[in-house]
Amino acid sequence: MDARLVFEDGTVFFGRVFSGSGERFGEVVFNTAMSGYQEVITDPSYSGQMVLMTYPMIGSYGINSDDIESRGLFLEALLVKEYIDFPSNWRSRQSLKDYLGQHHVLGIEGLDTRAITRHLRDNGSQRAMITQSDESLESLLHRLNVSPSMVGLNLADKVSCDGSYQWPMNGRSARFRVAVIDTGVKYNILRLLSENGCECTVFPSSISADEVLAQDFDGVFLSNGPGDPEPVTSVIQLIRNVLGKLPVFGICLGHQLLWLALGGKTYKLKFGHHGANHPVKHLETGRVEITSQNHGFCVDIDSLSPDDIEITHINLNDHTVEGFRHRRFPAFSVQYHPESAPGPHDSQYLFEKFIDLMESHRTRQGSVQQEVTV
């Protein structure tokens, strides 16, 4: 079935539906990863968005049961140049088409993905709609322009879990207990924390600091997630109340929320960072990491004092902040995805850094307790 992709500036692209039906509204973003479409579409950070894959052939290795990154699909649509409907991979359990259909996600192929990517690069991310109707462009634009913008929406609450749960340790020994604040957490983050000896309790974004502090955790992890960080006020308040009391590690949205909790500001990027090939410089070592990224907002480097925070990582494409640590509190964060799902493994050392931070904090707390006892 023929479909139109209509942008709010009136630009129209044409394609064909290969999965799902009906209209969709959302923000179109392009992802430059050459593989890993299963991890991309199961990333809750894409809530409210239509994801355009720049790699031309999508679907060739199907869908397997191991690389799912969340409990469902939260994106509005998947946009591709050519859909491959005959997957060939020993792990494949179903086709991408069937998987999208199962989760009621629209799939569009036959699009000029190079032209759309250039349009987004030059004009910025925009609201768009997909329709199979013959409605006039004027009428479509009217409906599109009254649809919600990504700015100001609290999408983190939408993708967060409904209640707390334990991530399985699978026979591993637990050295630390970690409270994971779920604003769209990816499963591979929980897998890597578990592999590093962390017993993870995952909490919804509405959890209070008092509830976390009452449960004898060794650290707090702030997860990735979708959209604008500023409306996620409950998590910002939680962070303010746990800072200095427990070590904190944030990724992606968690990085932005930590920055806001410290009094900083954030802003929306022109077309965001979405892909598995973004170069980031670790300022302490001078080492360049190739990273996986998925975010449309960024922290404002000038909104916090260098007396309070130290910038640890910088994006080499546009020099935006990719990581920082607090100079007094045991807290640090990165904007990119060190869990590498999909993407390179260059940055997985950050999980070890979190372990070291919790170990140091535990040692200091033990010393203080010993002094009090004496």
Catalytic residue numbers, as ranges: 252, 337, 339
Q: 3-class SS at 316?
A: coil
Place of tokens 């990154």: 69
Sheet strands side by side (includes 288-299): 165-166, 198-204, 176-182, 219-222, 248-251, 331-334, 321-326, 309-315, 266-282, 288-299
Buried (b) or exposed (e) across 151-172, using 16+ Cβ within 10 A? eebbbbbbbbbeeeeebeeeee
Q: 3-class SS at 128?
A: strand
Looking only at the bridges linking them, the beta strands covering 24-31 and 57-58 are unpaired
Q: Which amino acid is at 361?
A: H
Q: Which residues contact 373 (CB under 8 A, 6 or more apart)?
A: none
Looking only at the bridges linking them, the beta strands covering 24-31 and 127-131 are antiparallel
The whole-angstrom separation of Cα 238 and Cα 248 is 11
The whole-angstrom separation of Cα 192 and Cα 69 is 13
Answer yes or no: are the C-beta atoms of 318 and 270 closer than 8 Å: no
Answer yes or no: are the C-beta atoms of 325 and 282 closer than 8 Å: no
- Could you tell me how far CA 185 lies from the centroid of its own chain? 8
The whole-angstrom separation of Cα 105 and Cα 108 is 10
Q: Which amino acid is at 201?
A: T
The whole-angstrom separation of Cα 219 and Cα 358 is 6
